[in-house]
Copies of this chain bind each other. A is one copy, B any other.
Amino acid sequence: MNLMLLNSDSIENNVAKISGRQFDHLTQVQRLTEGDFLNLGEINGTMGRGKINTLTDEHATISLELGAQPPKPLPITVILALPRPKMLRRVLQTIAAMGVKNVYLINSSRVEKSFWQSPFLQPEAIEEQLILGLEQAKDTILPSVHLRRLFKPFVEDELTDIVGGSTAIIAHPGAKKPCPINLNSQVTLAIGPEGGFIPYEVTKLSAIGFDPMHLGPRILRVETAVPALLSRLFPV
């Protein structure tokens, strides 16, 4: 954790009161004590630092000095075939850490049905992973994660508007074109499941303007492909 993220309802008059995981991190990992400073941010707000006023066995009060803007988001919407639950958690952290703010988790022929039953898809479970990613990267703006359990109506009824005027890319091993670098445009990036989108799905996505592109001859796992793609697509 490089930045502790606070809920706005834990803040009153520029003083935060924390407990639970964050309190444990403060006292047991960072080993801070009264008078110490730490990096803090408010979820969907500004960031800065705080000074520990009081520390008990279960909670801490912290005076806040916020006001710095979080880093700029990446101009991208990620359309991701739902990964297996364990991988989903890491991918959500990565996506949040790298600055993605719009994510659609969608169904695809090669997504196992059981993945949709995972407790990690509960809103609180998703938010927990996103916050871990933001706290790692030093960002405050929570990404929006949308679940779409039906591929066809999502693509036919919704995706055209999501794409808008953006550059629409399918990350697709074996495609003819290489993934572009350092784009200045808005991007919509579709990433298939392990094994890839099936030809029908590629055809449906291509019909609304998506272009299949590859990352080289190697087949990467989703959790590796996501940072590799995001890192190539935009300038740093």
The interface residues of chain B lying within 8 Å CB-to-CB of A27 are: none
Residue A206 is within 8 A (CB to CB) of chain B in the complex: no
> Are A138 and B218 within 8 A (Cβ)?
yes
> Are B182 and A219 within 8 A (Cβ)?
no
> Are B98 and A236 within 8 A (Cβ)?
no
For window 91-110 of chain A, which residues contact chain B by CB distance below 8 Å? 93-94, 97-99
> Are A215 and B236 within 8 A (Cβ)?
yes
Binds B, one of A116-124, A146-154, A220-228: A220-228
Residue A217 is within 8 A (CB to CB) of chain B in the complex: yes
Q: Which of B2, B217, B221 contacts A136 (CB 8 A)?
A: B221
Nearest CB of chain B from residue A222's CB, rounded to whole Å:
11
Interface digits, A185-218 against B, CB 8 Å rule (1 contact, 0 not)? 0000000000000000000000000000011111
The interface residues of chain B lying within 8 Å CB-to-CB of A178 are: 235-236
State the CA gap A94–B231 with chains docked (Å). 15
Residue A164 is within 8 A (CB to CB) of chain B in the complex: no
The interface residues of chain B lying within 8 Å CB-to-CB of A78 are: none
